[in-house]
Structure 1
Amino acid sequence: MTANLQAGEGWHGQLKLVYADRLNSTQLIYNHHQAPLKVQRPFYPEGEKVCHSVILHTAGGIVGGDLLSCDIHLQANAQAVMTTAAASKIYRSNGLIAKQTINIQVETGACLEWLPQETIVFDGGIYRQDLRVELADGANFVGWEITRFGRSARGEKFYQGEWRSHTEVWQNGIPLWIDRQWLPGSAAVFHSPHGLSGKPIVGSLVWLGSPVSLEIIATARSLFTQHSQLTTQHSQLTTHHSLTGVTRLENGFLCRYCGTSTTEVRNWLTAVWQMLRMNFFHRGICIPRVWQI
C-alpha cells in the first residue's frame, strides 16, 4: 500500500499550550486549539504544583489525510502531567497517510510527564508520528508510547498498511536519544522474530534529564516480574512470552516491551513511572482519572 499526503484532505488539527509556574502553582497560561484537538480544563489532584491535563480528539479517530500538530511549552519550574482521554484509533486508510507532529519544550527546573493512552493501528492504517523534545539544563522528561497493531481482540492482524514513529530528545544541541521505528504491514513482518514475532503490542518508556543509578535500573526490571504476575492472577493471559528490556542511557534510561497484553505493559510502565516520581520528586501515586473510566 503506497502512502501519499495530499493537502486539503482530512482534518488539520492544532493544539498549542504554554504552562508557567506562578508562585509555586503550575498554570496553563496559553491555550490555542483547532478541531479536532482540544484540552480539558486543567485540574490538580495532587496540589497546585503539578498541573494535570487531558487532550481530547473530538472526531473519535484518525483517518488518512489527517494532519495533527501539538506544540507544548513548559516554562521554568512548571510541572505537568499530560495524557489523552481515550485510546487513539488509526483507521484503515484509502491510501493517504495520517500524520501527527508533537513539539515539546521544557525549560530549566520544569518536568513533563507525557503519558498518552495507547494507539491502536487498524489493519490497513498508514500513520506516522514525529515527537521532538527540547530540554534545557535542569529539565526532565518522562514519556511513553504504547501501540497495538490490529484489533487483536477481534482476531485482526496488521497485515497491510504502514507505521512510523520518530522520537528525538535534545539538550543544548546535543541528542540525548533518537529513536526511529518503521513497521510495514505484512504477514511476514508480523510473525518474523525480526518484526513483531507474532506479538501485537509494543511499548516504550524513556526518562531523560537526570542520570539514574544501577539500583533504579534493577528496580525497573524487577517491577515487570511483579506486575506481570499480578496480571496473570486476575486473568487467563499468558505473560511469559513477553519480551522486555531496560537500558541505561547517558542521562536517563529506556524501557521496551513487546507482548500481547495492554494491561501487562501499562501495569509495568505505570509502576516504573511511579518509581521515578518517588525517587526524583518525592511524589506519591496519582493515576490520571481518565484511565479509570
Structure 2
Amino acid sequence: MIEPAQGAAGGVRWPARLTLSAARDDAGATRVQARHDGPLRLLKTLYPESLAIAHAVLVHPPGGLVGGDRLDIGLDVQPGAHLLVTTPAATRFYRSNAGEAAQVVHARVGEGGRLEWLPQETLAYPGCLARNEVVFTLAAGASLFATEVLGLGLPAADQPFDRGRLLQHLEITGQWLDRGWLDAADAALLDGPCGLAGHRVLGTLAYAQTSPLADADAEALLAAGRAALADTALAGVTHLQGARGALLLARVVGDDLEAVTLALRRVRAAWRASLWALPGEAPRIWAT
C-alpha cells in the first residue's frame, strides 16, 4: 500500500492505482483479476446476467479527491471477454488547496472483447482544480459503451460553480476526442448560447466499434436514441463513421443529475438491445 506523501503546497498527496484484467476462460466465463496500490479497490465482481459478462464494482474509500490526489485505473479486456465496470457512488473533486487532483483511466479492449465503462456521476465542487481523463483503445472486432455525467457545483446546497476549473478528456483512440477546460471564469462557455447556456450538468454516452455500421442500422439506432431522449429538451444523437470504425454519440445538457443520468440510461438500453441483443437493465449496485 502506498502511504500518503506531502504535496508541493504542504497538503497530503494520496495516489492510488488499480488494474483490472478480464479474460475469458475455456468455459466462456469472464474472470477478473485485480491489483491495487493505495485506497482504490475492486469491491466485488458480480454476474447478474451470465458468467460471460462480469460486472466489476470499484470503490474509492476516501470518497473524493483533493489537490494532489491521483487515481490511476487500468483496464485490460482480453479477446472475447465482456467486462462492465461501475461504481456505487459519485466521483467527487473537492476544493483544491494543493494543486491538481486527477482521475486517469486507460483501457484496452482486445479482439472481439466488450467493455462497458459506466461510472456514477462526476461532481466538480466549487474551487476544484481537476483533471478527468478517460482513454480507450479498441482492437479489431472490439466494442465499447462509455458514459460520463458531469455536474458543476452543488446547486441543491446553494454552492454554485463560481470558481475552479476541470479538464475533461474523453478519447477513443483514432475515433473520437473530446477535450477541454470547464472553467468557472469562462462565462461564454458556461452561460453562452453556444456553450452550456446556464446549465450545469453535461452527460455523454458513446458507443464505438471497429467495424462500420450499415446505413439502415445506423439510422435505426439514431431513431431509437432520439426516441429515448424525446422528453429531454437539450439533447442530441450523432453517428460518425470512418476508417477506424463507427461511433454513436448521445449528449444531454440539463440542470438535474438524475434526469440526465436516466436519459442516457434509456439510450444505452435501446442501443445495447439492438447492437448486442442484451437487455439494458441497470447494474444492481446502482439500486443500493
**1:281 corresponds to 2:273:** no
Instruction: For 1:24, give the aligned amino acid.
Output: G
Q: State TM-score, norm by structure 1.
A: 0.88
Matched with 1:245 is 236
Matched with 1:266 is 261
Instruction: For 1:25, give the aligned amino acid.
Output: A
SS at match of 2:49: coil
Identity %: 33
Q: What's the offset of the Cα at 1:129?
A: 1.5
Indicate if the aligned counterparts of 1:143 and 1:207 stay in contact, CA closer than 8 A: yes
Matched with 2:44 is 41
Distance in 2 (CA, whole Å) between partners of 1:289 and 1:66 is 29
SS at match of 1:207: strand
**1:188 corresponds to 2:197:** no
Inter-CA distance 155–194: structure 2 relative to 1 (3 Å threshold): farther
1:1-293 counterparts in 2 under 5 A? 6=8, 9-22=12-25, 23-28=27-32, 30-170=33-173, 175-186=174-185, 188-189=187-188, 190-209=190-209, 210=211, 211=213, 213-225=218-230, 228=231, 242-250=233-241, 251-293=246-288
SS at match of 2:48: coil
Q: What's the offset of the Cα at 1:151?
A: 0.5
Distance in 1 (CA, whole Å) between partners of 2:158 and 2:47 is 40
Distance in 2 (CA, whole Å) between partners of 1:262 and 1:160 is 20
Distance in 2 (CA, whole Å) between partners of 1:197 and 1:9 is 36
Matched with 2:3 is none
Distance in 2 (CA, whole Å) between partners of 1:167 and 1:119 is 13
Q: What's the offset of the Cα at 1:222?
A: 1.3
Distance in 1 (CA, whole Å) between partners of 2:115 and 2:191 is 36
Q: What's the offset of the Cα at 1:9?
A: 4.3
Q: What's the offset of the Cα at 1:245?
A: 1.1
Q: State TM-score, norm by structure 2.
A: 0.89
How many residues matched?
A: 270
Distance in 1 (CA, whole Å) between partners of 2:98 and 2:17 is 23
- Which residues of structure 1 form unaligned runs of 5+? 229-238
Inter-CA distance 142–195: structure 2 relative to 1 (3 Å threshold): same
Deviations 1:201-256 (A, max 9, x none): 0010110015351111111011112xx4xxxxxxxxxx6xx421111111021111
Structure 1 residue ranges (4+ consecutive) displaced by more than 3 angstroms after TM superposition: 5-9
SS at match of 2:267: helix
**Root-mean-square deviation (Å):** 1.7
